[in-house]
Amino acid sequence: MDTRVRHRRISVGKVEVFYREAGADGAPVVLLPHGYPCSSYEFRNLMPRLADRWRLIAPDFPGAGYSETPDDFDYSFDGYAGFLDSFVEALDIARFALYLHDFGSPIGARLAIRAPARIAALIIQNGDIPYEDALGPKYADIEKTWSLPVPEMRKQLAEAINEETFKEEFLNDVRPELAACIPPDLWKLHWSLMTPRRKEVAIDLIAGLKQNRAWFPQHREYLREHRPPTLIVWGPHDHYMPEKSARAYLRDLPDAELHLLDGGHWLLETNLDEVVALVRDFLGRVHAHAG
Protein backbone atom coordinates (compact mmCIF):
# COMPACT_ATOMS: atom_id res chain seq x y z
CA MET A 1 0.00 0.00 0.00
CA ASP A 2 1.40 3.38 -1.05
CA THR A 3 1.00 5.75 1.91
CA ARG A 4 3.19 8.56 0.59
CA VAL A 5 1.85 12.12 0.62
CA ARG A 6 1.52 13.58 -2.87
CA HIS A 7 1.62 17.31 -3.53
CA ARG A 8 -0.75 18.60 -6.19
CA ARG A 9 -2.28 21.72 -7.70
CA ILE A 10 -5.74 22.29 -9.11
CA SER A 11 -7.66 25.30 -10.41
CA VAL A 12 -10.78 26.02 -8.36
CA GLY A 13 -12.61 28.74 -10.20
CA LYS A 14 -9.88 31.27 -10.98
CA VAL A 15 -7.70 30.26 -8.03
CA GLU A 16 -4.73 27.91 -8.31
CA VAL A 17 -4.87 25.75 -5.20
CA PHE A 18 -2.15 23.63 -3.64
CA TYR A 19 -3.21 20.50 -1.79
CA ARG A 20 -1.74 17.39 -0.21
CA GLU A 21 -3.20 13.95 -0.86
CA ALA A 22 -2.49 10.44 0.37
CA GLY A 23 -4.24 7.10 -0.04
CA ALA A 24 -6.02 5.24 -2.82
CA ASP A 25 -8.57 6.94 -5.09
CA GLY A 26 -11.38 4.58 -4.15
CA ALA A 27 -10.86 4.72 -0.39
CA PRO A 28 -13.21 6.61 1.99
CA VAL A 29 -12.25 10.28 2.06
CA VAL A 30 -11.15 12.39 5.03
CA LEU A 31 -11.15 16.13 4.29
CA LEU A 32 -8.65 18.19 6.28
CA PRO A 33 -9.22 21.98 6.27
CA HIS A 34 -6.40 23.70 8.14
CA GLY A 35 -6.30 26.31 10.87
CA TYR A 36 -4.59 29.67 11.44
CA PRO A 37 -1.79 30.64 11.11
CA CYS A 38 -1.06 27.37 9.37
CA SER A 39 -1.70 25.46 6.15
CA SER A 40 -2.07 21.86 4.98
CA TYR A 41 1.44 21.43 6.43
CA GLU A 42 -0.23 20.75 9.79
CA PHE A 43 -1.49 17.40 8.48
CA ARG A 44 1.79 16.22 6.93
CA ASN A 45 2.42 13.61 9.66
CA LEU A 46 -1.18 12.43 10.10
CA MET A 47 -1.85 11.70 6.45
CA PRO A 48 0.60 8.83 5.80
CA ARG A 49 -0.47 7.17 9.06
CA LEU A 50 -4.04 6.78 7.78
CA ALA A 51 -3.43 6.39 4.06
CA ASP A 52 -3.48 2.59 4.08
CA ARG A 53 -7.28 2.67 4.56
CA TRP A 54 -8.43 6.20 3.76
CA ARG A 55 -7.89 8.90 1.18
CA LEU A 56 -6.70 12.06 2.94
CA ILE A 57 -7.06 15.44 1.22
CA ALA A 58 -5.75 18.69 2.70
CA PRO A 59 -5.97 21.93 0.67
CA ASP A 60 -4.23 25.22 1.37
CA PHE A 61 -6.88 27.92 1.53
CA PRO A 62 -6.50 30.88 -0.85
CA GLY A 63 -4.20 33.34 0.90
CA ALA A 64 -2.43 30.57 2.84
CA GLY A 65 0.33 28.06 2.30
CA TYR A 66 1.23 27.52 -1.35
CA SER A 67 -2.14 28.51 -2.83
CA GLU A 68 -2.66 31.79 -4.66
CA THR A 69 -3.84 34.98 -2.97
CA PRO A 70 -6.29 36.53 -5.44
CA ASP A 71 -7.47 40.11 -4.87
CA ASP A 72 -11.11 39.33 -5.66
CA PHE A 73 -11.63 36.45 -3.19
CA ASP A 74 -14.01 36.64 -0.20
CA TYR A 75 -11.60 36.15 2.72
CA SER A 76 -14.24 35.34 5.32
CA PHE A 77 -15.52 32.16 6.96
CA ASP A 78 -18.40 32.14 4.46
CA GLY A 79 -16.04 32.75 1.56
CA TYR A 80 -13.75 29.93 2.60
CA ALA A 81 -16.70 27.56 3.03
CA GLY A 82 -17.80 28.39 -0.51
CA PHE A 83 -14.27 27.71 -1.71
CA LEU A 84 -14.17 24.37 0.10
CA ASP A 85 -17.49 23.43 -1.48
CA SER A 86 -16.07 24.17 -4.94
CA PHE A 87 -12.87 22.30 -4.08
CA VAL A 88 -14.65 19.03 -3.19
CA GLU A 89 -16.80 19.37 -6.30
CA ALA A 90 -13.68 19.87 -8.43
CA LEU A 91 -12.26 16.64 -7.02
CA ASP A 92 -15.64 14.88 -7.43
CA ILE A 93 -15.87 13.93 -3.76
CA ALA A 94 -19.43 12.99 -2.84
CA ARG A 95 -19.03 11.95 0.81
CA PHE A 96 -16.32 12.40 3.40
CA ALA A 97 -15.34 12.53 7.03
CA LEU A 98 -14.45 16.05 8.11
CA TYR A 99 -11.57 16.98 10.44
CA LEU A 100 -12.35 20.22 12.26
CA HIS A 101 -9.44 22.10 13.84
CA ASP A 102 -8.98 25.77 14.74
CA PHE A 103 -10.49 28.11 12.07
CA GLY A 104 -11.08 25.02 9.95
CA SER A 105 -13.95 24.25 12.32
CA PRO A 106 -16.34 27.14 11.51
CA ILE A 107 -15.35 26.84 7.85
CA GLY A 108 -15.90 23.07 7.76
CA ALA A 109 -19.14 23.32 9.72
CA ARG A 110 -20.50 25.77 7.15
CA LEU A 111 -19.59 23.22 4.48
CA ALA A 112 -21.45 20.51 6.39
CA ILE A 113 -24.55 22.69 6.72
CA ARG A 114 -24.61 23.22 2.95
CA ALA A 115 -25.10 19.48 2.34
CA PRO A 116 -25.36 17.41 5.53
CA ALA A 117 -25.75 14.14 3.62
CA ARG A 118 -22.14 14.45 2.42
CA ILE A 119 -20.76 14.18 5.95
CA ALA A 120 -19.87 10.64 7.01
CA ALA A 121 -18.40 11.72 10.36
CA LEU A 122 -16.78 14.58 12.25
CA ILE A 123 -13.42 14.56 14.00
CA ILE A 124 -13.17 17.68 16.16
CA GLN A 125 -9.71 18.54 17.48
CA ASN A 126 -9.40 21.88 19.29
CA GLY A 127 -11.80 23.46 16.84
CA ASP A 128 -13.22 26.96 17.27
CA ILE A 129 -16.37 26.18 19.22
CA PRO A 130 -19.90 27.64 18.78
CA TYR A 131 -20.39 28.15 22.54
CA GLU A 132 -19.82 31.70 23.82
CA ASP A 133 -19.63 30.67 27.47
CA ALA A 134 -16.97 28.00 26.98
CA LEU A 135 -14.22 29.97 25.21
CA GLY A 136 -10.76 30.19 26.74
CA PRO A 137 -9.21 33.35 28.27
CA LYS A 138 -7.18 34.19 25.16
CA TYR A 139 -10.40 35.01 23.29
CA ALA A 140 -10.98 37.90 25.67
CA ASP A 141 -7.98 39.69 24.11
CA ILE A 142 -9.65 39.52 20.69
CA GLU A 143 -13.04 40.55 22.07
CA LYS A 144 -11.52 43.72 23.57
CA THR A 145 -10.86 45.02 20.06
CA TRP A 146 -14.52 44.68 19.02
CA SER A 147 -15.61 47.89 20.73
CA LEU A 148 -13.00 49.94 18.88
CA PRO A 149 -13.63 51.90 15.69
CA VAL A 150 -12.88 49.64 12.73
CA PRO A 151 -9.62 51.39 11.71
CA GLU A 152 -8.28 51.16 15.27
CA MET A 153 -9.39 47.53 15.59
CA ARG A 154 -7.61 46.61 12.38
CA LYS A 155 -4.51 48.50 13.51
CA GLN A 156 -4.36 46.54 16.76
CA LEU A 157 -4.91 43.25 14.97
CA ALA A 158 -2.16 44.11 12.46
CA GLU A 159 0.28 44.79 15.29
CA ALA A 160 -0.41 41.30 16.64
CA ILE A 161 0.50 39.60 13.36
CA ASN A 162 4.24 38.98 13.48
CA GLU A 163 6.68 36.10 13.76
CA GLU A 164 6.74 36.17 17.55
CA THR A 165 2.95 35.93 17.83
CA PHE A 166 2.99 33.11 15.27
CA LYS A 167 5.41 31.30 17.59
CA GLU A 168 3.09 31.95 20.53
CA GLU A 169 0.13 30.61 18.55
CA PHE A 170 1.93 27.30 17.98
CA LEU A 171 3.41 26.91 21.45
CA ASN A 172 0.23 28.22 23.12
CA ASP A 173 -0.13 26.81 26.64
CA VAL A 174 1.93 23.60 26.57
CA ARG A 175 4.62 22.84 29.14
CA PRO A 176 8.32 22.86 28.13
CA GLU A 177 8.71 19.15 27.37
CA LEU A 178 5.77 19.28 24.95
CA ALA A 179 6.90 22.60 23.48
CA ALA A 180 10.16 20.85 22.57
CA CYS A 181 8.13 18.56 20.27
CA ILE A 182 6.70 21.47 18.29
CA PRO A 183 9.07 22.26 15.40
CA PRO A 184 10.05 25.89 14.77
CA ASP A 185 9.37 25.13 11.10
CA LEU A 186 5.71 25.82 11.88
CA TRP A 187 6.13 29.50 12.64
CA LYS A 188 9.25 30.01 10.50
CA LEU A 189 7.62 28.52 7.40
CA HIS A 190 4.29 30.26 7.76
CA TRP A 191 5.81 33.61 8.62
CA SER A 192 8.06 33.34 5.56
CA LEU A 193 4.93 32.98 3.41
CA MET A 194 3.39 36.15 4.84
CA THR A 195 3.04 39.11 2.45
CA PRO A 196 1.39 42.52 2.92
CA ARG A 197 -1.70 41.22 1.11
CA ARG A 198 -1.82 38.09 3.24
CA LYS A 199 -1.54 40.20 6.36
CA GLU A 200 -4.73 41.99 5.30
CA VAL A 201 -6.32 38.57 4.74
CA ALA A 202 -5.41 37.52 8.28
CA ILE A 203 -6.83 40.76 9.69
CA ASP A 204 -10.08 40.19 7.77
CA LEU A 205 -10.41 36.68 9.14
CA ILE A 206 -9.64 37.54 12.77
CA ALA A 207 -11.91 40.60 12.62
CA GLY A 208 -14.59 38.30 11.22
CA LEU A 209 -14.74 36.42 14.53
CA LYS A 210 -17.10 39.16 15.75
CA GLN A 211 -19.62 38.50 12.96
CA ASN A 212 -19.07 34.77 13.39
CA ARG A 213 -20.72 34.92 16.83
CA ALA A 214 -24.09 35.53 15.17
CA TRP A 215 -23.62 32.24 13.30
CA PHE A 216 -23.10 30.13 16.47
CA PRO A 217 -26.81 29.16 16.80
CA GLN A 218 -26.84 27.82 13.24
CA HIS A 219 -23.74 25.74 13.95
CA ARG A 220 -25.30 24.33 17.12
CA GLU A 221 -28.57 23.59 15.31
CA TYR A 222 -26.71 21.58 12.68
CA LEU A 223 -25.00 19.48 15.35
CA ARG A 224 -28.21 18.99 17.32
CA GLU A 225 -30.37 18.13 14.31
CA HIS A 226 -28.04 15.92 12.29
CA ARG A 227 -25.94 14.28 15.06
CA PRO A 228 -23.16 13.05 12.75
CA PRO A 229 -20.93 10.35 14.26
CA THR A 230 -18.35 12.45 16.10
CA LEU A 231 -14.95 11.92 17.69
CA ILE A 232 -13.74 14.76 19.90
CA VAL A 233 -10.01 14.51 20.53
CA TRP A 234 -8.70 17.44 22.52
CA GLY A 235 -5.59 18.98 24.01
CA PRO A 236 -6.84 20.90 27.08
CA HIS A 237 -3.61 22.90 27.51
CA ASP A 238 -4.94 25.56 25.19
CA HIS A 239 -5.48 29.24 26.08
CA TYR A 240 -8.11 29.52 23.32
CA MET A 241 -9.87 26.17 23.67
CA PRO A 242 -9.42 24.54 27.11
CA GLU A 243 -11.19 21.44 28.46
CA LYS A 244 -14.52 23.22 28.96
CA SER A 245 -14.55 24.02 25.24
CA ALA A 246 -14.36 20.34 24.34
CA ARG A 247 -17.07 19.38 26.83
CA ALA A 248 -19.40 22.07 25.48
CA TYR A 249 -19.92 20.03 22.29
CA LEU A 250 -21.63 17.33 24.35
CA ARG A 251 -24.61 19.67 24.84
CA ASP A 252 -25.58 19.12 21.20
CA LEU A 253 -23.67 15.89 20.53
CA PRO A 254 -24.38 13.76 23.61
CA ASP A 255 -23.32 10.57 21.80
CA ALA A 256 -19.94 11.97 20.72
CA GLU A 257 -16.78 10.22 21.90
CA LEU A 258 -14.63 12.62 23.94
CA HIS A 259 -10.93 12.00 24.60
CA LEU A 260 -8.82 14.51 26.53
CA LEU A 261 -5.12 14.04 25.82
CA ASP A 262 -2.13 15.48 27.66
CA GLY A 263 -1.41 18.13 25.06
CA GLY A 264 -2.48 21.45 23.61
CA HIS A 265 -3.84 23.07 20.47
CA TRP A 266 -1.49 21.32 18.02
CA LEU A 267 -1.90 17.68 19.05
CA LEU A 268 -0.62 16.38 15.73
CA GLU A 269 2.82 17.67 16.72
CA THR A 270 2.88 16.45 20.33
CA ASN A 271 0.45 13.51 20.58
CA LEU A 272 0.37 12.07 17.07
CA ASP A 273 0.43 8.39 18.04
CA GLU A 274 -2.55 8.80 20.39
CA VAL A 275 -4.55 10.78 17.84
CA VAL A 276 -3.82 8.24 15.08
CA ALA A 277 -4.95 5.32 17.25
CA LEU A 278 -8.21 7.06 18.20
CA VAL A 279 -8.97 8.21 14.64
CA ARG A 280 -8.22 4.80 13.12
CA ASP A 281 -10.51 3.07 15.60
CA PHE A 282 -13.28 5.64 15.16
CA LEU A 283 -13.22 5.78 11.37
CA GLY A 284 -12.93 1.99 11.19
CA ARG A 285 -16.19 1.66 13.12
CA VAL A 286 -17.91 4.44 11.14
CA HIS A 287 -17.10 2.88 7.80
CA ALA A 288 -17.82 -0.67 8.99
CA HIS A 289 -21.27 0.49 10.09
CA ALA A 290 -21.81 2.31 6.79
CA GLY A 291 -20.85 -0.80 4.89
Domains and CATH numbers, the chain: 6-290 (3.40.50.1820)
171-207, pLDDT tens digit by residue? 988 999 999 999 999 999 999 999 999 999 999 999 9
Distances (CA, A) of 82 to 17, 171, 222: 14, 31, 17
Average pLDDT, the chain: 96
Strands lying side by side in the sheet with 55-59: 6-12, 15-22, 55-59, 29-31, 96-102, 119-127, 230-234, 257-260
Say if CB 105 and CB 124 are below 8 A apart: yes
Q: How far apart are CA 16 and CA 10, in angstroms?
A: 6
Q: Does the pLDDT value for residue 288 go beyond 90?
A: no
258-272, pLDDT tens digit by residue? 999 999 999 999 999
Query: In sequence order, which residues have a C-beta less than 8 Å from that of residue 144 and are 6 or more positions away?
Result: none
210-229, pLDDT tens digit by residue? 999 999 999 999 999 999 99
Closest CA to 248 of 261, 262, 234: 234
